[in-house]
Amino acid sequence: MKNLRFVLVLALTLALFQSCTKEETTDPQGREAPELPAQEAFVMTFTDFTESDTTAVSREQSSSASNTYWHWLYAAGNLVGWNTAIVLSTGLPTLAFFESFNHRPEYQGDGIWLWSYDVTGYDGSVYSAELFAELLPSDQVSWEMYLSKVGGFSRVKWYTGVTENDGSGAVWTLYHRPFAAALPVLEARFSRDLDSGVKTMRYTNISANDDDRGDYIEYRELPGAAFSRGYDVYRIVEDNLLEIQWNEGAKNGRIRDLAHYGDSDWRCWNGEYRDVDCQ
């Protein structure tokens, strides 16, 4: 009898525990928390260029009399520079976003869920993150991230966004100046065609008091195309568009930049990054 009573108490305890857990992670209609958006919908990739050995290519360029690598080096130099600038301006919100995948949300009421956790910055500082998600009637999800720094600022809005539930799109606004007003400085816009697999991610400077407001960099993936990857870099002050296209597998590519080359012709490189005539 004692064993039976123990089993009944244990079963009741487990049922109550599961009930409490469900109440924390679902809304009154039983809907689960929205899925966190894919990382590609938040962060632009530069891996094809940042993981390439530009030092080795530069060394080969300086020691070779018959081969040059100017076009690929110019493309890589531009993109590595952009990657560095973006990491400096979006490093903290990116870290906070990635950390959210390691935590579970809790339902807050009114269709809103909260991921709450700590994250350590590149400088070793500890930040408290609050990521809110709200289900919208339009089959979209609205997101807001607030960060607080231990011994520093408190609950600063760092970014907001709206994502499609099917993963086909996202629009983010990143903010800056945590010790003053939170001002929008960067828009990130992601789209994916669910049938063809074509993807784009564009970062646009939207800082109100910046002479470079309107500058953008856009990354594209075009499965099956001769040039299956591409970047467009637009500088508004110069009204100039830098275009970089390459084949992800073969590594050959091309670049076009009126401000740099003085004309609108393509310059090409082969799978070993050597300058070649465009076909």
Helix (H) / strand (E) containing 72? helix 70-99
**pLDDT for the residue 64:** 52
Map out the domains of the chain as residue ranges: 43-276
Block mean pLDDT (10 aa), the chain, length 279:
34 32 58 90 84 54 67 92 82 91 94 95 92 92 93 89 95 78 88 97 92 95 97 96 96 96 97 94
Spatial distance between the Cα atoms of 130 and 115, rounded to a whole number of angstroms: 6
**pLDDT for the residue 81:** 84
**pLDDT for the residue 2:** 35
Residue 58 tokens, joined: 């530069």
Do the Cβ atoms of 112 and 27 come closer than 8 Å? no
Output the DSSP codes for 100-122. GGGS--EEEETTEEEEEEEEE-T
Residue 31 tokens, joined: 């809907």
**pLDDT for the residue 186:** 92
Instruction: Give 82's strand partners.
Output: none
* Count of CB atoms situated within 10 Å of the CB of 140: 18
Which pTM value belongs to this model?
0.82
Residue 195 burial by CB count (10 A; 0-12/13-18/19+): exposed, middle or buried?
exposed
Residue 195 tokens, joined: 């049938």
